[in-house]
Amino acid sequence: MQHELRGADILWGALKRGGVTRVFSLSGNHIMEVYDAAFGDNISIIHVRHEAAAVHMAEAWARLTGEVGVALVTGGQGHSNACAALPTALAGEVPVLLLSGHAPTHQLGMGAFQETPQVAMAEPVTKAAWLAQRTDTLAADVARGFAIARGGRPGPVHISLPTDVLEGKAAPTQPDEAAFLAPPMPLAPESAQAVLAAIQAARKPLIVVGSALNNPAGSRARAALEAALGLPSVMMESPRGLNDPSLGAINEPLAQADLVVLLGKPLDFTLQFGKAAPGARFIAIEPDGGIIAREQTLLGDRLALVAMAAPLPAAEALAALATPHPNAAWGAFTREAIAHRPAAWEEFRNRPGGPVHPATLGYALQEHLDADTTLLLDGGEVGQWMQAILKGRERITNGVAGAIGAINCFAAAARAARPDGKVVACMGDGTFGFHMAEFDTAVRHNLPFVAVVGNDGVWNAEYQIQRRDYGPERAHGCDLGQATRYDLVVAALGGHGEFVTRFEELHPALERAFASGRPACVNVLLDGQAAPSLKR
């Protein structure tokens, strides 16, 4: 008779078979069996201080490693806390698996401890969500979750784990490794040729890509495609759409384009539903039939060609067959528009005194970065300035969802994924408050990074809306208090803190923070400014 294992052991074995090396978790009653199964195992657990942080860290880990990011939390309120982070992963198109403990199946409907409609809660913000029903199918559940998370347009998946399923015993069978992979969704050769022929025939084509290509494999595929065509691709992952400061004056080439290729990029508000390119026909390379139907409704006969394929294999197929576009001047114009930054910003470089202008902060910080820097950049007004100015090896922003607050979590996971090089997180003072306790996580797990906090004492994005739409005399409810010593919070948690009130203090503070070898916070009193506008 074959030796039987607990469901928790089968679950943990399935994670290993799926290639998982790190799990982000907060313990709780419903998952103690899983913690026991993990004891002494070679999958390390990063123990966080809030369940949403576990999901945020899993997202950043997935972006940087190519693994499915796994978050493990308890049931009830632990699960509901974790669900708050799922919209960011969904909009960012990141393969994440949220595993949540759950009340036992034989007590459902009887008022079990922390009995909660967990699957119904997660369904709207995941690609799929379900309740594990049997111990002997737990490994298959995990494999299915991985395949769905990775497939087509990637995204988060949730599985609820009843305690009796975890405690039960069954034969330890594991699916083939192929079961953990996404079903192939390649771009057919004839479709690739048709797309490339349309690009070559267009005078001013523009290739717009989605968040699914913002990872190491996606970056390589984009670079190969750009080199083969001699044209840039435009990564649109900001909730500000055409006002994304990372994209400079992108509105100019979009307005002139005669062809827009949507390479895994949904047609949505970021492109003004197609109105940003009024003279262009569109090609949609898209894995989701529902998105294609939506684009057909929005574009009508402007939608010239549709091909169903996942973004990464589509980009790789196009790069393999592409030849240089004949209009090299158009490629140069598009690159220049994206790189545009106002010359007037130079007046803020090394500007003395304080509070520090956000552009002054950005230019100074860039001097401390290098080609091995991983950047984590939040949203808000401060974040927009940093997104416009800073460059590093790779970067993660708060993404299309537009939610702020995840960046401290992203940074801790980034250090786990990138043990070498600098890891820098930039945020406003509002963002810092969401997950400040994760500095304790970073200290406990020896995950040093430098957080630069632009402290203007206000929820500035909302304050700017109030000023613009209702008048400054009606602006209220956005004050935070600029004297708050976030640096002392980090120092109290075991990290390194710096407080900067003037530009003259900034470079020495940054040098000490990087040299500390600890999770560090550089708290900079900032001259609160609206996000930059780069339209010419």
**354 and 326 both lie in a single domain:** no
Identity of residue 343 = A
CATH of the domain at 64: 3.40.50.970
Of 180, 199, 225, which residue is a domain's last?
Answer: 180
Indicate whether 293 and 230 sit together in one domain. Answer: yes
Is residue 536 situated within a structural domain? no
Q: Where are the alpha helices (DSSP H) in 493-533?
A: 506-516
SS (H, E, C) 118-153: HHHHHHHHCCEEEECCCHHHHHHHHHHHHHHHHCCC
- Whether 302 and 237 map to the same domain: the answer is yes
What pLDDT sits at residue 2?
63
Domain ends where: 270, 304, 339? 339
Please give the Cα distance from 73 to 102 (Å, whole number): 10
In DSSP notation, 90-128 reads: HHTT--EEEEEEE--GGGTTTT-TT---HHHHHGGGSSE
- CA-CA distance, 315 to 317, in Å (whole number)? 6
Backbone angles phi, psi at 452, to 5 degrees: -105, 115
Is residue 530, in this structure, part of any structural domain at all?
no
Q: How far is 140 from 175, CA to CA, in rounded Å?
A: 6
Give the domain range for residue 323: 189-339
Residues 329 and 464 in one domain: no
- Could you tell me if 86 and 98 lie in one domain? yes
Residue 462 included in any domain: yes
Please check whether residue 69 lies inside any domain of the structure: yes
Residue 170 belongs to a domain: yes
CB 103 within 8 A of CB 113: yes
Render each residue's pLDDT in the chain as its tens digit; 536 residues: 468 899 999 999 999 999 999 999 999 999 999 999 998 878 999 999 999 999 999 999 999 999 999 999 999 999 999 999 999 999 999 999 999 999 888 877 767 777 789 999 999 999 999 999 999 999 999 999 999 999 999 999 999 999 999 999 998 888 999 999 999 999 999 999 999 999 999 999 999 999 999 999 999 999 999 999 999 999 998 989 899 999 999 999 999 999 999 999 999 999 999 999 999 999 999 999 999 999 999 999 999 999 999 999 999 999 999 999 999 999 999 999 999 999 999 999 999 998 999 999 999 999 999 989 999 999 889 999 999 999 988 999 998 888 899 999 999 999 999 999 999 999 999 999 999 999 999 999 999 999 999 999 888 888 888 888 899 889 898 888 878 999 999 999 999 999 999 999 999 999 999 999 999 999 999 998 888 888 77
How would you classify residue 85: left for phi > 0, otherwise alpha for psi between -120 and 50, otherwise beta? alpha
If one counts the domains in the chain, the total is: 3
Q: What is the end-to-end Cα distance of the chain in Å, rounded?
A: 75
Whether 418 and 406 share a structural domain: yes
Q: Note whether 85 and 199 are same-domain residues.
A: no
For the chain, helix, strand, coil in percent to 5 are: 45, 15, 35
Domain closes at, from 308, 339, 370: 339
DSSP state of 479: B
CA atoms of 500 and 488, how far apart (whole Å): 12
CA distances, 246 to each of 221, 227, 241, 406 (Å) = 20, 21, 10, 19
Q: Same domain for 167 and 224?
A: no
Give the contacts of 160 (CB within 8 A, at least 6 positions apart): 75, 79, 100, 101, 102, 118, 119, 122, 129, 130, 131, 132
Q: Which residues pair with 80 in a beta bridge?
A: none
Distance CA 180, CA 215 (A): 19
> How many helical (H) and strand (E) elements, i.e. helices and strands, does the chain have?
22, 19
Same domain, 35 and 164: yes
- Phi first, then psi, for residue 408 (nearest 5°) are -60, -40
Answer yes or no: do 152 and 225 share one domain. Answer: no
Six token digits for residue 405: 């607050």
Is there a domain that residue 101 lies in? yes
**Beta strands at 259-263 and 281-285: parallel, antiparallel or unpaired:** parallel
Taking alpha carbons only, the member of 329, 337, 198 closest to residue 255 is: 337
Pair (386, 271) in one structural domain: no
- Domain assignment present for residue 533? The answer is no
Residue 284 belongs to some domain of the structure: yes
Instruction: Write the CB contacts of 480 (distance below 8 Å, at least 6 apart in sequence).
Output: 429, 430, 457, 458, 459
CATH of the domain at 292: 3.40.50.1220
The whole-number pLDDT of residue 44 equals 92
Predicted confidence at residue 174, as pLDDT, reads: 85
pLDDT for 374 equals 96
Count of Cβ atoms closer than 10 Å to residue 1 Cβ: 4
Q: Cα 485 to chain center, whole Å?
A: 28
Q: For residues 162 and 232, state if they share a domain.
A: no
Q: What is the pLDDT of residue 483?
A: 82
